[in-house]
Amino acid sequence: MMAPPLNAVLRRMPRASASIPKGTRLRRIERFDKRFDEFWDRIKGDYPIMAVRDSAYLNWRYVDVPYRNYTTLSLERETTGDLLGFTVLLVQERDIRVGHIMDILTARNGGAKTTRVLLCQALKHFHERKVALVCCWMLPHCHVFPELRKLLFFRRAKPGRDLIVQIEKGEGAVMEREFAANPENWYACLGDSDFY
C-alpha cells in the first residue's frame, strides 16, 4: 500500500550521477590480478585496520568460491588501466530478491567521486536484475557512508553486532588497545563476514 506513494517520492529526489567520468572505464572483473595488489599497496595506508585486499585474498574470498556468484566491477583509468576502486556485488533469492554490496574499496582521501560512481553502477546492476532491496554494511565514519546516504540508503542499527577484538601482548603484537578501540581506525564490510 505504501509502495506507490513512496516510489513517487523517491523518483523526485536528487541522485548522484552514475555516469563514468571521462578518461575512466568500468570493467567487469572475472579474476583479481596484480593490478589489485598495486591498488592495495597504494591505498592500504588509508585504512589503519582492515582485512588485506590483495589479489590472493580477493580471489579466495570472491572468485574461488563454488557456491556463490559474485559480480565485481572496477573503475580504472582508460590509458594505463590503473585501478581507482572496485565493488563486489551479490544477488540472493530470499522471500524477495536482495542485492548485497559485499565490498567497496576506493581511496579514503579524494575517492568520493569514484565511490559515488561505483555505488551508482552497483544500483544499476541490481536494478537490471530486478532486486527489491539493497544492503551494505558501512561504518558511519567511513567516506563511503555519506555517499550511501546521498543514494537514499538508511541506517539500520542492529543490536548484537558489536565487533569483539582481543589484543594479545608479546611477539607479533601489531596494535595497542587504544588504537584498536578507536572505531575511526576500522573498516569492515559484508565481505569480511563469514555469514555471506
The pLDDT score that the predictor gives to residue 159 is 66
The pLDDT score that the predictor gives to residue 94 is 86
The pLDDT score that the predictor gives to residue 129 is 95
Angstrom distance (rounded) from CA 131 to CA 93: 9
Q: Which residues pair with 163 in a beta bridge?
A: none
Percentage of residues in the chain with pLDDT exceeding 90? 57
**Per residue in 105-141, pLDDT tens?**
999 887 789 999 999 999 999 999 999 999 999 988 8
The pLDDT score that the predictor gives to residue 9 is 61
Which pTM value belongs to this model?
A: 0.84
Strand 97-106 to 133-136 pairing: parallel
What DSSP assignment string belongs to the chain? --HHHHHHHHHHS-----PPPTTEEEEEESS--HHHHHHHHHHGGG-SB----SHHHHIIIIIS-TT---EEEEEEETTT--EEEEEEEEEEESSSEEEEEEEEEE-TTT-HHHHHHHHHHHHHHHHHTT-SEEEE---TTSTHHHHHHHTT------TT------PPPSTT----HHHHH-GGGB---GGG-TT-
Residues 185, 49 contacting (CB under 8 angstroms): yes
Residues 58, 94 contacting (CB under 8 angstroms): no
Q: What is the mean pLDDT of the chain?
A: 86
Q: Which residues pair with 49 in a beta bridge?
A: 186
**All domains of the chain in start order, with CATH:** 3-192 (3.40.630.30)
The pLDDT score that the predictor gives to residue 168 is 59
Cα-based torsion angle of the residue sequence 13, 94, 67, 187 in order, rounded to the nearest 10 degrees: 40
Angstrom distance (rounded) from CA 65 to CA 50: 21
Where the chain has pLDDT below 70, the residues are 1-3, 6-18, 158-175, 195-196
